Structure 1
Amino acid sequence: MTHPGKHETVAVHPLVSPWGRFGLYSFFIDAPEPAVVDTGIATSPAKGMAPALEAIGHRIEDVRWILLTHGHIDHIGGAFALWERTGRRARVVIHEADAPLLRSRRAHVDEYLSGRGRYLADPDGEANVSAATRAVISGEMEPHVLVRGGETLSLGGDVTVSVHAIPGHTPGSVAYSVEGQRSVFVGDAVQVHGAANGFPGYTDPAAYRSSLVRLRDEIRPHHLYLGHPYRRADGTPYGVELDAAQAHEALTQSLAAEERVAAAARTCLAAGHRETDSPYSPFAAVADAVGYTGDPTLEPSPFFTSMHGYREQSDRNA
């Protein structure tokens, strides 16, 4: 088998794992030291990755790098299980800001309580999130490589991957770019108009916007790999593999969506905190302004995640 050299393209293969009615996406980088970007949930390595890799002539046991774009459960849940399948030989990489979510199931519960959980008024919310972490996170573990952005990882031979910090969706969201071909993996850091939930989710709006600008104007992907099939303004989904033109469109639309939500959030917050019977309370005015009619209680509740981010941003600027 030949491996990519300086003038050869490194092949990327999407690996889809089942999760209820959804598919979870990981990506296999066919390098001399093979890598998997994101790991789905606990069952993903066995039910999705292993058979998908076998179908293209690879073995899950040969994976040597596990590159995590951020710490949410549907991206890190299978990390421990995948690491085990490699004989504990793969190196697990994550940004230091999201590393607590890999080390501890409890960190996910604390994140819920400090953010969106404040608005959901669900007495069973903490218990439900705790149960979800037990069900879908295969194990708590210490990462092998902590990154902050600016690092270069060698995947063997002439294949290198650069790491870019793109916070906003989470504090530790990163992009991995295969150097020489600008194949860029961003996880959930490019939300466009949201996925099936119909609303973009991010914890820090200002950082999210800055990261989108950096991706579009500086990193400029030739191939952009998304964590989910995010949607255009008309509701039609992108795939998870975008070419250069689609990537530019998705990034531009993401910026437009954030600007629209930000304008509504500023107006709502300026009017003061108003609790109502609306399921969108205290941000019902935002839902009205942007025409959002989805269920804001569905986890991971991007509506309240983003609204809490705008509220914190407003408080910092006050």
Structure 2
Amino acid sequence: MTDAVNVHPLVSPWGRFGLYSFFIDAPEPAVVDTGIASSPAEGMAPALEAIGRRIQDVRWILLTHGHIDHVGGAYALWELTGRRAQVVIHEADAPLLRSRHEHAAEYLAGRGRYLGDPAGEAKVTAAANAVISGEMEPTLLVRGGETLSLGGDVTVSVHAVPGHTPGSVAYVVDGQRSVFVGDAVQVHGAANGFPGYTDPAAYRTSLEYLRDEVRPEHLYLGHPYRRADGTPYGVELDAAQAREAIDQSLAVEGRVTAAACGCLEAGLKETDSRYSPFAPVAEHLGYTGDPTLEPSPFFTSMHGYRTRNQNV
């Protein structure tokens, strides 16, 4: 039987968020997600040195999805490995790694339609320029179903879990069901207090797939996502906590879906509410968070529901 592969969290702060990356201590070491531009040199390198590992020896950079706080440090980390690491991302999210401009385009096509901020595009562009260390072509594009060899008998399987983004994936260390999901399990959201997903139906299907098929023994989240009482989950969840987090995520999604569908069926109305035109959703759910704070998960998700109902 294969010895357990150790996983080391690499946590770095960024504004209101905690950014979680993870070091898989395999013969060909891997880092899952990369934080922002400063994360590899200022956070990862000293953390790895403290456990007797070198950032130069990383041979795999596994990206769960394309958002700036997950791919921002990819180019910098790749450089620190002497450009020897393989950079892996789902083909649907690869444009976000290749081009900073794609992040502004995503903003304008989705949540930016509701925020009413004439400087919004400029702000997103400035953020992308500041926290994305470089545009780059990935080494390996995946779709889900692939198996990656990390040397010796250590393999990682790739599972498509779309919903948060079209190209969200989970990486699973085979044999021990250590599962890295990025932002595919949101529970009650992170600092904004609301779950964010671009495709609600895909998000739910992916949660069910993780619960019923993948069945994590160890679940690693991309941020300190929160329970109903506001307390955050830790960096690593055991099997029981993983099941709880996934079940809670499904329950939250069900309530949001009911509220959003009711709002859409009644007809969207522009008001002076900061949640307009989805004010009834916030009222129904008792959501009082600030929907304008990036990454604006309230409007991201509401636009996802609206997109699925093309007649609205």
TM over 0.5: yes
5+ long unaligned stretches in structure 1: 1-5
**Residues 16, 191 of structure 2: 8 Å contact kept:** no
Q: Does 1:120 align with 2:91?
A: no
Q: Match of 1:315, SS?
A: coil
**Residue 52 of structure 2 aligns to which amino acid in structure 1?**
G
Matched residue, 1:286: 281
Letter in 1 for 2:39: S
| Aligned residue type for 1:82 | L
Query: In the TM superposition, what whole-angstrom CA distance separates every residue of 1:87-121 from its partner, at most 9, and x where no partner exists?
Result: 00000000000000000000000000000000000
C-alpha separation between the residues in 2 aligned to 1:46 and 1:18?
Answer: 14
Q: Does the aligned pair in 1 maintain the 2:2–2:153 contact within 8 Å?
A: no
Cross-structure match for 1:75 = 70
- The alpha-carbon deviation at position 210 of structure 1 amounts to 0.1
Partner letter of residue 265 of structure 1? A
TM-score relative to the length of structure 2: 0.99
Percent sequence identity over aligned pairs? 82
Q: Is the 8 A contact 1:18 1:48 kept in 2?
A: no
* 1:309 corresponding residue in structure 2: 304
Question: Which string of whole-angstrom CA distances, capped at 9 and with x for unpartnered residues, describes residues 29-63 of structure 1?
Answer: 00000000000000000111000000010000000
Give the whole-Å Cα distance in 2 for the aligned partners of 1:171 and 1:80. Answer: 22
CA separation in 1, counterparts of 2:72 and 2:215? 29
Structure 1 residue 273 displacement after superposition: 1.5
Equivalent residues, number: 312
- Give the equivalent residue in structure 1 for 2:192: 197
Aligned-residue offset at 1:169: 0.1
SS in 2 for 1:153: strand
Residue 19 (structure 1) aligns with: 14
Query: 1:21 Cα deviation (Å)?
Result: 4.6
| Residue of 86, 92, 101 corresponding to 1:97 | 92
Amino acid at match of 1:294: G
The answer to whether the 8 A contact 1:40-1:76 is kept is yes
Amino acid at match of 1:225: Y
Instruction: State which drifts further: 133-142 or 17-26.
Output: 17-26
1:63 aligns to 2:96 (yes or no): no
Equivalent in 205, 213, 230 of residue 210 of structure 1: 205
CA distance in 1, matches of 2:16, 2:207: 29
Task: Output aligned runs, 1:263-274, within 5 Å.
Answer: 263-274=258-269
Q: Which amino acid aligns with 2:21?
A: S
Q: Which SS does the other structure have where 2:84 is aligned? A: coil
Matched with 2:33 is 38
TM-score scaled by structure 1?
Answer: 0.97
1:180 maps to a residue whose letter is G
Q: CA RMSD in A?
A: 0.9
Counterpart check, 1:85 vs 2:73: no
Uncovered stretches (5+) of structure 2, i.e. residues with no partner: none
